[in-house]
Structure 1
């Protein structure tokens, strides 16, 4: 879609950056600014000693490289700097603190090791460390350093002290923003002390109130501070550095707590707000202190801290160490390049959602740059290679590093296209055209280009305002474009693996909740052999993206981002030889940053036990591995904080900058841009992976009408690993096609209709087809019998989402597959049974089914294209067989009214549909809440609260039609002799097994397309958009309902560069 340059340049409100190289002085200041940030803005003597130690360890590792660099000059200089530091002998141990009366428990963290922390009060209240912790210098002796992965817990009996008057105090040092200091939890009787955006927040839960009290004094400036919470029977007070910060009356009456007091977390099970920093001299007193006592306690501790140099800063010596360390780090033989290709773009401009931020109606600012940086330094020579203003995402270098392949949205366009040019910017050519988006291209070893495209026109079933971009390929000229993915939801950041396959991220939620499963997958370059790589049943991390193989290994590095948070990621490594789902096979590199959105899981494992945080970075993205230890990465500082040595020099907003980093935590700033620096690539040749031969029977153009060759899915034993009772009962395999949702309102809203207003239970869809989960049309293609040895060989249509269920002799599901697979035209692929890794290679022996021609599924009585709808198919069955008792004047109507009528809480979902699916005891908001489950007995994947178990394979024979009370009532004859006819029973069974859809294709095609000028759409704040953009009126791919495009992904897509071309083709076929 082409728009006027005047309108295009008016979109957004960000200034166009000047492309220039920094002066040497500017670059030096940028580096020093970053070094000071890494030291918490206050480089104390002990921190400088730590840097010296880390630098020597770094040098020792480099000395072990195959071609070690000469570091003699750097190490000599390091020795000279160390001699200028105060002699450690002068920092002699000081007398112990004199503490006021009433001490109950005290932890000083002076232990030489182990996970038991002694109670220095003599009261016997020892603490137990858990997770990742370490001891670092404190105000006197040691202190407990926590990086967000560890905590200390105590005997629950200690909490009894807080039922009376008490004082809890600690010394802390941190630069983090929001986190727990210590407390017993968030239930009645508990207390909690936290850092909240700088100041301290106190809590004490009584029988009627949480008594939340926000302080004012900032404590996260990197210096040691003394904080205390004082609670008596009438008030709660917060003290900072011996001075009353804030006080308030205590509401309610105190009650006992049976929860343990924890340091660094509110409870051991909570991971989102764990403490990052150091704690020392943690004390609990059995009385409420007065102001003078707290002032004295602070002053004595402050004197000790000053005597021990705890906050003594020597900026010059610290910076001198960092200069040496930087020279050593850049001498690493692994850093064998001097040029970098990267983009400098605003990471998002409206909503930092995983897919929405990358295309229309966001990503319409025209300030992005594609940069070539010469020199690994903020002052390196910078050249803008981009062909003009607009936006850019991830670029690619050819295997010989002579060409650049990239995606670009010109200022006059709304969508991204693919381009290629020489590294010097010459010979620019545009490869793809049209009004769809083409993103993130990579070179395949056979000469093809793989990329992401939303030419399939399918929308995520939670109805974001743009079509999903999924894996596609074309030849080197941009022609012969095929969609090689069957995903309905977006996919992300493909990368070549050393074995010639493609690694990428797939978001899918087949019969699952929609938020958590954005896992790693792999496929051949022709789209065959698609299989789960890691995490398809893992709640943590939320989204594994930007994955790349680590040279010389079978491991991959990735960024763990959030479904709604792409700016707070953390870096992890996957090793599939150790497992396929959390926590197996996963290690965390940046242990200082939790996984975005979901926080850290219960079994996080650090990649390196010697990792040290350096600075309170709040997000990591786009890693590029140089080895198992060293990598390039984009990292992000927090928002500006006042009261630091850097003061107003801190950037006013947090942006990603490029670093050279290692798994030990060492990092050096390489480049900082005007906006977010992402997707950096070293400019150097790389080895080309082997070519996997193309095996697809490509059908060519759709208008030429060639036959599309079907595929075959086979299994030597679909019953592999299942209990004997399931093996005895399973007789058929049901084949289900989840059709592509090429329709949408473009809003998260219910469809306006006769049953209610469109503001209830929107299910993050527009319109929602089911109240049980986010779904599309499910077509039952049919069933095939299971051979005596458990084998099947099924002929299936290509380029479609398929999933399977095992059925008993009554066609009831005894087991179900909560993921999808697909085949390309002519592909034959195998799998084992319904298990966690559905794409695991099958056994080598051939079953009975493989010795026969593949079986085409026998369609259900209503055919393989028809899809069920509640009012069309299910309500008439209830009316016919149940109405005499449960409708009208029936005596059972008071027990369960089966009359079709509006629901009090279901919006456009009527009764009895809502009660049949969710049950009478339920909660409804945007999604179902706590629900007992209705007599239908289906799965409720979107019923909150969601848990890690929500995404796993269900145990067989525990849900769906096999356990459905509705199916039993309709078929057993034991409920007042009711036995429905065979067709009705088959419909009820399938309806339950496909999660009880309410709307079907017939209802959707009766809804008009969204009118961009209608206030319902034009005035909606959703979807988020770049300022100045009209999501409906300006859309390059307008949302459609009645006229939603029909897309056959098996064919070449060259003839459909725009949605209008698809609609025109549909009209032509209809006329013919």
Structure 2
């Protein structure tokens, strides 16, 4: 144990104490701008001490001293040729680096390809067939090896003239290579395996219309990858997402092991057998800063945050690797709207799960100044020489791809903790995914903790009062725990509503999601809860008081596998902490069977504002707060449907009568800070307003709507996919004409309530007309009445008898087909059989 502590201490010293010597040493072209003798000296001494008989440390140190003397003379001679001198320094740096015996122990495997074309988000590198960005695919590449024990001789294992080879993974035996390949623009990424000598190429997956990328070997030789086999799209745009899937070594019985509503990628095996991956998901929060590093067991149980769930900048943390013999992570600090590259960083989660303190080192050194809880989602786009595909060789030396300074060209670099960055190899169009072609130790196999019965799993909470931002919650005030499902987005439109970001189609005023209440569970007097939840649901929890009002809410999601039992200490508790001593031997909630989900005023369904809330306003409010009535100046509570929302929803939001978090900040919010407890509407009604007397269920519906973040639409499907906001019944031509007639901007955000399709003559855009016989008035009214007829014949998504458009029905059919394949594969596992992709295509 003492030796382990010493090693960890040395690692921390190297990462923190050694100054960022390379700061300012590189110019934006990637050339050495100023020699860094101290960094080079540290490296020579380190390698020489490790390999005293194999490394020419004494000779290199002598050459370094001579170069330093020459530099001192150069400083006194302004007319001297500094370019020539810097060339000498670069040559010595490269010589000292390539002489490292560790670098010669094994060949280096890498990929040659073009840099991915820029797109909406750092996850968008697949350009899947049949999707919005398919034509961004650019082929041409190879899987190669370079051997520095043989003077840097390179060899091609596999080439593809029109395709892309990516994401290689070396088997534990060092002889086989797993990778993803797409043969051309009409193909999709599938998994392949090949021997390191180029023989034995075999295809493992072949499903049509989906991608399989980022494969890794598990300790039992099963394979995990990221795949779009559950076809869903990012809620803030229109791009295909992916989750983690596991399969047998031969590609049989592919099954989903993560259920995040967005993207899980860059899986890496941890020394203890768990999987580390980066995860993009947002529940009631900003889309751009919600991409951190998570872990899971290989069977899909125990998905847990590792680092960065509540830090604004960097917008994304990608490609996490545990550095050998440490508890530190090597990763990329990236941006939301960028390629998957950025600054190279070392994170030590023992120093915290968020914020600046855990970041012990970055390349470039000043990139650490961009880390900020409240920072911007794209701050790391500022990095001039970006890194990608890091691979830690040991605690001091790391391989990686880095910009060479020639446009977006990427080369293979060796980076060390002393401050040296040495270009090892480059060829056009760029080099990626460097790693040793070598044997490695198998981590332990973690036993399976789930079944495939597709039923329920069990959650327990030890004490809901434990955790950050719960200090002001009085013990005994939490009576219930509500379980809410966040739905996936299965369809998209080109037209969009700009809430906190791009909603395509529009869903809510400010955030992106739809919600379905699965049920509630009681919270015992000791703060414990124990309940079962259907498997494969991306859920979050809310704490409720005796009136059913939300005290605190998760703004991230979780999932339980069939047969899994999982739990937590408290709510937003410090994930590195141990539970406090128990006051009694067993949590009260565990003395009974787990509570089952009982729905909410009926079977679970996605929340629909028009169906669940508007009838209350119709009964109690519109007699005064209606169009043309005196109280309309305060708020209009009528149900009249506009371009995207109805009158009451639009006014409650725009007039700030409600206080909800929307797509809010990254930080955890204090208890009672938003929702029903904080909303002016509820305060007004609780004080008493006119003769309004709400029943218990009516109260419950209002406060539940607010505590769910005030959603409007129940589904992403629409029948007006080409029209304004993806929701308006009128097409662009008619809306433009309406604007010409009324002199109003009828296609902007605030125009959403200029029209009433329920009562066209009461449309606000018609108020300018004083004479109803005016031809312009009649034409404008006729256009709005046409919209009413369209909605009558073809009801929109929040109305009864809604039917999605043809494209959305097609996407829903694909989703259902893929779900059926998933079920058949799980059935095969239950019955000891094998299913393969080829059997379903």
TM-score normalised by the chain length of structure 2: 0.78
1:991 to 683, 696, 705: 705
Distance 1:412 1:990, change over 3 A: same
Distance 1:443 1:771, change over 3 A: same
Q: Residues of 1 paired with 2:838 and 2:501: CA distance?
A: 27
Which residue number in structure 2 is paired with residue 442 of structure 1?
Answer: 216
Which residue number in structure 2 is paired with residue 61 of structure 1?
Answer: 46
**1:868 Cα shift?**
2.1
CA contact (8 A) 1:441 1:450 kept: yes
CA contact (8 A) 2:458 2:565 kept: yes
Q: Which runs of 5+ in 2 are unaligned?
A: 1-23, 376-382, 733-806, 829-834
**1:1048 Cα shift?**
5.1
**1:464 Cα shift?**
2.4
Q: What are the residue-to-residue correspondences of 1:602-641 with 2, within 5 Å?
A: 617-638=384-405
Which residue number in structure 2 is paired with residue 896 of structure 1?
Answer: 635
Superposed CA offset, 1:790-839 (max 9, x none): 11111111111111011011111011111111111100001122215579
Q: Residues of 1 paired with 2:314 and 2:25: CA distance?
A: 31
Q: Residues of 1 paired with 2:561 and 2:356: CA distance?
A: 32
Q: What are the residue-to-residue correspondences of 1:98-497 with 2, within 5 Å?
A: 308-309=76-77, 312-351=80-119, 353-360=121-128, 361-362=133-134, 364-375=137-148, 380-386=153-159, 389-411=162-184, 413-435=186-208, 436-466=210-240, 468-497=241-270
Distance 1:63 1:1060, change over 3 A: closer
Superposed CA offset, 1:449-473 (max 9, x none): 011011011211113232x111111
Which residue number in structure 1 is paired with residue 275 of structure 2?
Answer: 502
Aligned-pair RMSD on alpha carbons?
A: 3.4
Distance 1:822 1:53, change over 3 A: closer
1:960 to 651, 675, 684: 675
Q: Residues of 2 paired with 1:355 and 1:961: CA distance?
A: 36
CA contact (8 A) 2:457 2:562 kept: yes
Q: Residues of 2 paired with 1:1000 and 1:840: CA distance?
A: 38
| Greater helix proportion | 2
Q: Does 1:793 align with 2:560?
A: no
**1:871 Cα shift?**
2.1
Superposed CA offset, 1:188-208 (max 9, x none): xxxxxxxxxxxxxxxxxxxxx
Which residue number in structure 1 is paired with residue 488 of structure 2?
Answer: 740
Which residue number in structure 2 is paired with residue 70 of structure 1?
Answer: 56
Distance 1:676 1:774, change over 3 A: farther
Local SS of the residue matching 2:623: helix
Count of matched residue positions in the alignment of Structure 1 and Structure 2: 710
Q: What are the residue-to-residue correspondences of 1:630-1029 with 2, within 5 Å?
A: 630-638=397-405, 651=406, 653-699=407-453, 708-721=454-467, 722-723=470-471, 725-745=473-493, 747=494, 749-750=496-497, 763-775=501-513, 777-835=514-572, 837=574, 846-864=586-604, 866-888=605-627, 890-901=629-640, 908-917=644-653, 919-920=654-655, 934-941=656-663, 950-970=665-685, 972=686, 974-1001=688-715, 1004=717
**1:628 Cα shift?**
2.4
Local SS of the residue matching 2:167: coil
Local SS of the residue matching 1:522: strand
**1:526 Cα shift?**
0.5
Distance 1:588 1:1051, change over 3 A: farther
Local SS of the residue matching 2:613: helix
Distance 1:43 1:331, change over 3 A: closer
**1:343 Cα shift?**
1.3
CA contact (8 A) 1:569 1:594 kept: no
Which residue number in structure 2 is paired with residue 643 of structure 1?
Answer: none
Local SS of the residue matching 1:347: coil
Q: Residues of 2 paired with 1:909 and 1:898: CA distance?
A: 12
CA contact (8 A) 1:1008 1:1042 kept: no
Distance 1:993 1:309, change over 3 A: farther
Q: Which runs of 5+ in 1 are unaligned?
A: 1-34, 92-307, 605-615, 639-650, 700-707, 751-759, 921-933, 943-949, 1017-1036, 1063-1072
Distance 1:592 1:579, change over 3 A: closer
Q: Residues of 1 paired with 2:41 and 2:650: CA distance?
A: 66
CA contact (8 A) 1:356 1:464 kept: no
CA contact (8 A) 1:67 1:333 kept: no
Q: Residues of 2 paired with 1:311 and 1:557: CA distance?
A: 43
Q: Residues of 1 paired with 2:574 and 2:339: CA distance?
A: 27
Distance 1:321 1:337, change over 3 A: same
Distance 1:352 1:619, change over 3 A: farther
TM-score normalised by the chain length of structure 1: 0.62
CA contact (8 A) 1:883 1:890 kept: no
CA contact (8 A) 2:313 2:373 kept: no
Distance 1:685 1:839, change over 3 A: same
CA contact (8 A) 2:334 2:340 kept: yes
Q: Does 1:591 align with 2:364?
A: yes
CA contact (8 A) 1:726 1:814 kept: no
CA contact (8 A) 1:831 1:840 kept: no
